[in-house]
Amino acid sequence: MRYVVGYTENDRGQDALALATSLASTQGAQVDLVTVLNRPRSGGAAPGTDRAEAALAQAAAGTPDHVAVQTHVRTADSFAEGLLEAAREFEAELIVIGASSNGLLRRFTVGSVANAVLHSSPVPVALAPRGYRHRDTITRMSCAVGTRAGAGAVLDVAVESAARHGVPLRLISLVALDVSDPTDSGEAVNQAHQHANTVLIKAVEQLPRGHEATIAVAHGRTIEQAIDDVEWDAGELVIVGSSRLAQHSQLFLGSTANKMLRALPVPMVVVPRDWNLAAA
């Protein structure tokens, strides 16, 4: 099992490395640290290769001994293209990247690289929020549950991931309330509770006996406010599905996931449509 990590010599690169270390520690995966340089037009080594190799070596040396790390300097027309090429070549199960450097502390602001990867990756993408430094094992998996097509597949991935990692599973339903109509808002919350409980029953049936599974229904005027109403563990990971607009086995970040991404204080993994990740 291999995780491709987009590494840059800045805080964003450290965020991605910390998340990859946590995931690899939990699952026993190999980490492939990848830096992508602009492809030289004249051939030969790309400018900055020596510095990139030194930065990668230093980053790898700072990872725990139990995490297997390989470093790679690639050239491509863009950073995102180089990451996707590496993921295909290494048959990686996951791409790990950091949030844009201009986001608020422990919040996401999706930059051009993350945006390109999120809309074209054939494998799940894990995004670390700015300032992420948790390197211990994952402590809980949360899955955003919805009613749209593909929600069942995301639940299957979350259930299998929680079981394989040996961590509790939490199902989260986020409700943006219509403040102009309290009656409709109350009904929306009730429906969210009913749906979450229905999904919980299915999840418990799939999980190993005795494995913990819970639900959390949060609401606010916006999805962002609903997220702020949820308590998060430092070692938590949130799994969401890509938009119904995504092509088969491809990623496309929908509007709700985008709103979640801007507000989450913990990492998010976006799963391609119809993805079946046995080793998530």
Residue-wise pLDDT tens digits, 173-199:
887 765 455 556 667 677 767 777 787
Return d(Cα 174, Cα 191) in angstroms, integer: 11
For residue 49, what is the enclosing H or E element?
helix 49-61
**Higher pLDDT pick, 280 / 237:** 237
| Domain end position, chosen among 70, 98, 128 | 128
Return d(Cα 183, Cα 204) in angstroms, integer: 32
Neighbouring-strand partners of residue 183: none
Count of structural domains, the chain: 2
Q: Does 196 reside within a domain?
A: yes
Q: Does 41 reside within a domain?
A: yes
Residue pair 7/34 in contact by the 8 Å Cβ criterion: yes
Q: Does 279 reside within a domain?
A: no
**Higher pLDDT pick, 49 / 220:** 49
Return d(Cα 255, Cα 258) in angstroms, integer: 5
Q: Does 280 reside within a domain?
A: no
Q: Tell me: do 113 and 234 sit in the same domain.
A: no
Tens-digit pLDDT profile for residues 50-96: 999 999 999 999 999 999 999 999 999 999 999 999 999 999 999 99
Question: Is the four-CA dihedral 150, 151, 156, 157 of positive or negative sign?
Answer: positive
Q: Tell me: do 52 and 93 sit in the same domain.
A: yes
Q: Tell me: do 193 and 111 sit in the same domain.
A: no
Instruction: Output the pTM of the full model.
Output: 0.84
The tokens describing 65, both together, are 């001994």
Return d(Cα 143, Cα 159) in angstroms, integer: 9
For the ranges 80-89, 153-162, 267-276, which has the lowest average pLDDT? 267-276
Angle subtended at Cα 74 by Cα 73 and Cα 80, rounded to the nearest 5 degrees: 120
Q: Does 202 reside within a domain?
A: yes
Average pLDDT across the chain, whole number: 82
In the predicted structure, residue 115 carries a pLDDT above the cut 50 = yes
Q: Does 133 reside within a domain?
A: no
Report the SS3 class of residue 6.
strand
Going through 60-212 in order, the beta strands assigned E by DSSP cover 69-76, 94-98, 125-128, 140-144, 169-176
Q: Does 276 reside within a domain?
A: no
Q: Tell me: do 145 and 241 sit in the same domain.
A: yes
| Domain end position, chosen among 128, 148, 179 | 128
Q: Tell me: do 80 and 199 sit in the same domain.
A: no
Return d(Cα 150, Cα 155) in angstroms, integer: 9
| Domain end position, chosen among 83, 105, 128 | 128
Q: Tell me: do 66 and 46 sit in the same domain.
A: yes
Q: Tell me: do 122 and 187 sit in the same domain.
A: no
Q: Does 135 reside within a domain?
A: no
Neighbour tally for 200: CB within 10 Å: 18
Q: Tell me: do 180 and 105 sit in the same domain.
A: no
Report the SS3 class of residue 72.
strand
In the predicted structure, residue 220 carries a pLDDT above the cut 60 = yes
Q: Tell me: do 36 and 146 sit in the same domain.
A: no
Q: Tell me: do 89 and 144 sit in the same domain.
A: no
Which DSSP state fits 280?
Answer: -
CATH of the domain at 56: 3.40.50.620
For residue 198, what is the enclosing H or E element?
helix 182-206
Q: Tell me: do 51 and 117 sit in the same domain.
A: yes
For residue 268, what is the enclosing H or E element?
strand 268-271
Q: Tell me: do 123 and 159 sit in the same domain.
A: no
Tell me the residue range of the domain where 254 lies.
140-271
